[in-house]
């Protein structure tokens, strides 16, 4: 007997009941933000910036994204846009201390010192133990030549962060500018105890010189030269100390080296002219003054020195012309030389 065929059972199509869940713009913004943070931590700043842009596009009031984008732009040295982002962050949350600090950093680099000072002052109100913030305030005060206020800020910086060589050095600069040379020496030595740099030894040498410690000044400048043999002002400064000790050969060698390193160093040319004058090499001395004046036509001290050299060369009229120029460019002592000029 033939077997009956198996019936074919058909079903209506079954639709998938699992639907795709769509992210809200806010959720997408958070995803992009988190990716951006990961990029930032891995120093992938271009990718971080792109993700933070996406986050902000999806959530216009997403304050952490503006802050993160500002920090990224600061790393990429896009200081103007970084400052704009920090300001937007603060409009959304005026108590965001990180934004105040970042804004201060951006503004100080942009040369907007008053805005930077305002930002750091906001920051230290709630972060008085931040040595770095006090240091930045000290830098701003020093740039404005408010050396007493800068001293206070650098002292607060050191109090919050005792191992702070830059703060000791810069406090030393303030003390130096205020004529507190012994205090400056102490600060420079404290700085050197934490970090031996050519710049700080050079500063120490200047303070020792002002204190009348000629040999100590030479030692400091010599150490600076050992650390950085290409630092031209060290040679010029040590040359002055040798000149004061009447060690003309050593002074001449240092001024030669300073000029070799920087052929536009007008101070070194004038100082070398003095050595040549002492050695009775008047033509060479005058040539150095000529060079200094060619480099800086308003360099009053060079006119004064050239006038003295011209007088020794029995060129009275030329000497008077130079002294008059020196007086014109602010060298008060030149007026004593012009008294006998006709």
pLDDT in tens, 296-328: 999 999 999 999 999 999 999 999 999 999 999
Query: Given a cut of 80, is residue 272 above it in pLDDT?
Result: yes
Q: Is the pLDDT of residue 23 over 70?
A: no
Q: Which two tokens stand for residue 156?
A: 């607060």
- pLDDT at position 21: 56
Residue 186: the pLDDT is 98
Does the structure show a pLDDT above 60 at 2? Answer: no
> What is the C-alpha separation between 322 and 108, in angstroms, rounded?
42
Dihedral, 71, 76, 78, 79 alpha carbons, nearest 10: 50
CB 127 within 8 A of CB 120: no
Q: Which residue has the tokens 């020496």?
A: 185
Burial of 247 (0-12, 13-18, 19+ CB in 10 A): middle
Q: Are 89 and 69 in contact (CB under 8 A)?
A: no
pLDDT tens-digit series, residues 193-217: 999 999 999 999 999 999 999 999 9
Distance CA 48, CA 38 (A): 8
> What's the whole-number average pLDDT of the chain?
91
Dihedral-angle region of residue 145 (phi above 0 means left; psi in -120 to 50 means alpha; beta otherwise): left
What does the alpha-carbon distance between residue 91 and residue 72 come to, in Å, rounded to a whole number? 19
């Amino acid at each position: 007997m033939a077997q009956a065929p198996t019936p074919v059972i058909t079903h209506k199509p079954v639709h998938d009941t699992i639907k795709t869940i769509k992210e809200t713009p806010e959720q997408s913004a958070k995803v992009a933000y988190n990716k951006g943070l990961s990029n930032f931590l891995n120093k992938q700043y271009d990718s971080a910036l792109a993700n933070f842009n996406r986050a902000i596009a999806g959530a216009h009031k997403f304050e952490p994204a503006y802050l993160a984008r500002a920090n990224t732009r600061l790393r990429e040295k896009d200081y103007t846009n970084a400052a704009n982002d920090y300001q937007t962050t603060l409009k959304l949350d005026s108590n965001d201390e990180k934004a105040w600090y970042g804004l201060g950093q951006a503004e100080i680099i942009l040369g907007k010192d008053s805005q930077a000072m305002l930002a750091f002052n906001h920051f230290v109100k709630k972060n008085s133990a931040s040595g770095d913030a006090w240091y930045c305030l000290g830098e701003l005060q020093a740039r404005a030549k408010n050396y007493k206020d800068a001293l206070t800020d650098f002292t607060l910086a050191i109090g919050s962060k005792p191992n702070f060589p830059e703060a000791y050095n810069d406090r030393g600069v303030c003390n130096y500018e205020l004529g507190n040379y012994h205090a400056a020496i102490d600060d420079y030595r404290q700085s050197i105890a934490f970090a031996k740099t050519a710049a700080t030894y050079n500063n120490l040498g200047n303070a020792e010189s002002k204190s009348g410690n000629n040999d100590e000044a030479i030692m400091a400048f010599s150490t600076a030269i050992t650390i950085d043999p290409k630092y031209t002002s060290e040679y010029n400064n040590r040359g002055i100390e040798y000149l004061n000790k009447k060690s003309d050969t050593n002074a001449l060698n240092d001024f030669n080296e300073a000029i070799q390193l920087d052929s536009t160093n007008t101070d070194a040319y004038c100082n070398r002219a003095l050595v040549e004058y002492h050695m009775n090499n008047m033509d060479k001395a005058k040539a150095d003054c000529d060079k200094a004046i060619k480099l800086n036509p308003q360099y009053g001290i060079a006119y004064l020195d050239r006038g003295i050299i011209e007088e020794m060369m029995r060129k009275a009229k030329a000497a008077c012309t130079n002294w008059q120029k020196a007086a014109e460019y602010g060298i008060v002592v030149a007026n004593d030389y012009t008294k006998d000029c006709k």
